[in-house]
Amino acid sequence: MESLREEVLSGAVGGVARPGVDTRLTHGGRDPASFHGLVNIPACRGSTIVAPSLDEWDARKRPGNPMASYGRFGSPLSRAFEQTVADLEGGHAAIVFPSGLAACTHALLSLVRPGDHLLVTDSVYGPVRSFALGVLQRLGVEVEFYDPRIGGDIRTRLRQNTRVVYVESPGSITFEMQDIAAIAQEAHRVDAFVVMDNTWATPLFFRPFEHGVDVSIQAATKYIVGHSDALLGVATANQATWDLLRQGAHDFGQTAGPDDLYLALRGLRSLGVRLRRHQAGALEVAQWLSDHPAVARVMHPALPGDPGHALWRRDYLGASGLFAVALRPVPTAQLRCFFDRLQLFGLGLSWGGYESLVLPVDPPARVCAPSLPGPLVRIHVGLEDPADLIADLDQALKAMRGLVPCARGQVV
Q: Where are the beta strands (DSSP E) in 303-347?
A: 322-327, 346-347
Is 222 tagged catalytic?
A: yes
The mean of the pLDDT values for the chain is: 91
Fold of 24-269: Aspartate Aminotransferase; domain 2 (3.40.640)
Active-site residue flag, 260: no
Q: How many CA atoms lie within 13 A of 104 on its CB side?
A: 26
Choosing from 72, 159, 313, 314, the catalytic residue is 72
* CA angle at 187 for the pair 182 and 188, rounded to the nearest 5°: 105
- Whole-model pTM: value is 0.91
Query: Is domain 271-400 annotated with CATH 3.90.1150.10?
Result: yes
Are 285 and 317 in contact by the 8 Å Cβ rule? The answer is: no
What is each CA distance from 357 to 3, 49, 196, 360, in whole angstroms?
A: 33, 42, 25, 10
Q: Considering 222, 246, 341, 378, which one is annotated as catalytic?
A: 222
Alpha helices, H only, 112-238: 126-131, 180-189, 202-205
Q: pLDDT for 321-334, tens place per residue?
A: 999 999 999 999 99
Active-site annotation holder among 22, 116, 122, 197: 197
For the chain, which residues make up each domain, given as ranges? 24-269, 271-400
H/E element holding 316? none
Residue 38: how many other CB atoms lie within 10 Å: 12
Residue 125 is among the residues annotated as catalytic for this protein: yes
pLDDT of residue 29: 86
Rounded Cα distance, 96 and 80, in Å: 11
Lowest mean pLDDT among 33-42, 119-128, 351-360: 33-42
Determine which of 34-38, 99-103, 212-216, 265-269 has the lowest per-residue pLDDT on average: 34-38
pLDDT tier for residue 183 given thresholds of 50, 70 and 90: very high
Would residue 62 show up in a list of annotated catalytic residues for this protein? no
pLDDT band at 70 (very low <50, low <70, confident <90, very high): confident
